[in-house]
Amino acid sequence: MTRTPAHLPRRHPAPAPVPTEAPARVVALVPAHNEEALIAVSVRSLLEQTHPVERIIVIADNCTDDTAGVVERNFDDDRVVVLETVGNRHRKAGALNHALSHADLDGIDVVVECDADTEIHPSFVAEAVAEFAADARLGGIGARFVPRPLPADAGRTARLLWHLQRHEYARDDSQRVERQWSVSVLSGTASAFRLDALREADGWDRRSIVEDYALSIDLRELGWRTSAGARTFCWTDVPLTIGELWRQRLRWYGGTMVELDRRADAEATRFDRFQVMLFELMLVMQVWFLVMLAVTLVVAGGIGVAWWGLLLPIVVFADRLHRLRYLPGRSASDVALALSPLPDLYQLWRQAVWVRAGRLAHKEALAWQ
């Protein structure tokens, strides 16, 4: 059953012109490590694309479950191929590069990379192909993703984490729109690449634990443009326990710091390094504010609040309400969450992960799993 996009921004651009020459030929790569529970949904969403995908290569990478068997039993289709790897020590990047080097890509124009826990919208490939046709220097297109629907049996903690990440993803999406679709990371959740650009970058960097970010930097350093697709929607799984979320963000943040250290002189990382500097400056200012507040409470026995002291919270809450328009299926409970202190506590938690990741980034980051 075809679903409509989860959400369309108010100022949504018209679709890119569809090329009049021969349709682009597309291959999809789906790296999967022990993904028997979700792999069928991901493959089926690729088979249901309005622009045909010639081959879907599922890379069953070092699997100890029945990922390969699930694909073989559920899809009696010549377009679906299972490629198994054994002994791959380079994680997702190694699996993707293995497929890239062993697959027959003669005549292929576009490579779609899609996580095994991701379901892409039926028009994802068609929209990406149209955007590539409209811009010859566009090397990669990232997805606009939202969390999968919450399981019916989810507990309170899982529900809270799901809602907080849903708001976080919507905020990130609004920033992509405001930046005219420019992105620093072509997310491994789902992205499409011009094959020429992918080959020029020599595929995914095996040294990186954030291979999607490393590839995005490589493409920009080579002169290719990276962008979020205006209409390339997908749904993805999100962590529903604090431990899983901690490990995910620790890898994301720590891997990002390692890449920025490795590429400190790269022109393509200048904006990202500036953002990190601002983030760390704000973190220092928050700590300073909390310390001064505690000292004031102890010394003076209390604090007074002037009317102008309410301006900052008003601006913050107004910004959150403004960005709710990018939240799919928003409701009154989403407004209540945006106006509550929970997003602030979640931000403090993310900052704690960042601090921890910064300490680990100076160690052997490639050993993190």
pLDDT of residue 16: 47
Residues 328 and 146: their CA atoms lie apart, in Å, by 8
Taking residues 130-141, what's their average pLDDT?
95
Please tell me which of 46-60, 286-300, 338-352 the model is most confident about, judged by mean pLDDT. Answer: 46-60
Q: Following CA atoms 337, 326, 312, 351 in sequence, which dihedral angle do they give, to the nearest 10 degrees?
A: 70
Q: Which of 312, 310, 337 is nearest to 324 (CA)?
A: 337
**Burial status of residue 205 (CB atoms within 10 A of its CB: 0-12, 13-18, 19 or more):** buried
Alpha helices in 87-191 (DSSP H): 91-102, 124-134, 156-178
**Does the structure show a pLDDT above 60 at 162?**
yes
The mean pLDDT value for 348-367 works out to 75
Mean pLDDT along residues 162-171: 94
User: Which one is predicted more confidently, 127 or 325?
Assistant: 127
Separation of alpha carbons 256 and 290, rounded Å: 28
Answer for the pair 229, 346: CB distance below 8 angstroms, yes or no: no
pLDDT tens column, 239-285: 999 999 999 999 999 888 888 888 888 888 888 888 888 878 887 88
**Greatest CA span in the chain, whole angstroms?**
76
Q: Looking at residue 275, what DSSP letter applies? A: H
* Residue 21 pLDDT level (bands cut at 50, 70, 90): low
Task: Give the pLDDT mean for 93-118.
Answer: 93
Query: Closest Cα partner for 268 from 214, 230, 228?
Result: 214
Q: For residue range 54-95, what is the model confidence (pLDDT) as tens digits?
A: 999 999 999 999 999 999 999 999 999 999 998 888 899 999
- Which region holds residue 301: left if phi is over 0, alpha if psi is between -120 and 50, else beta? left
Token couple for 317: 């809450």
Give, in order, the Cα–Cα distances in Å from 152 to each of 147, 155, 316, 323: 14, 9, 32, 27
Q: Coil, strand, or helix at residue 88?
A: coil
Confidence at residue 289, expressed as pLDDT on a 0 to 100 scale: 76
| CATH code at position 309 | 3.90.550.10
For residue 358, the enclosing domain spans 1-369
Pairwise CA distance, residues 207 & 90, whole Å: 7
Average pLDDT, the chain: 86
**Alpha-carbon separation of residue 213 from 115, 133, 209, 254, 260 (angstroms):** 15, 24, 9, 12, 10
- pLDDT given for residue 45 in this prediction: 96
Domain count, the chain: 1
Helices (H), ranges, 135-265 = 156-178, 195-200, 211-221, 242-262
**What's the pLDDT score for residue 309?**
62
Q: Is the pLDDT of residue 3 over 60?
A: no
Element (H, E) at 236: strand 225-236
Mean pLDDT in residue range 188-195: 95
List CB contacts of 264: < 8 A, sequence separation 6 or more: 273
Residue type, 179: R
Give the pair of three-digit tokens for residue 159: 């529900």
What element of type H or E holds 267? none
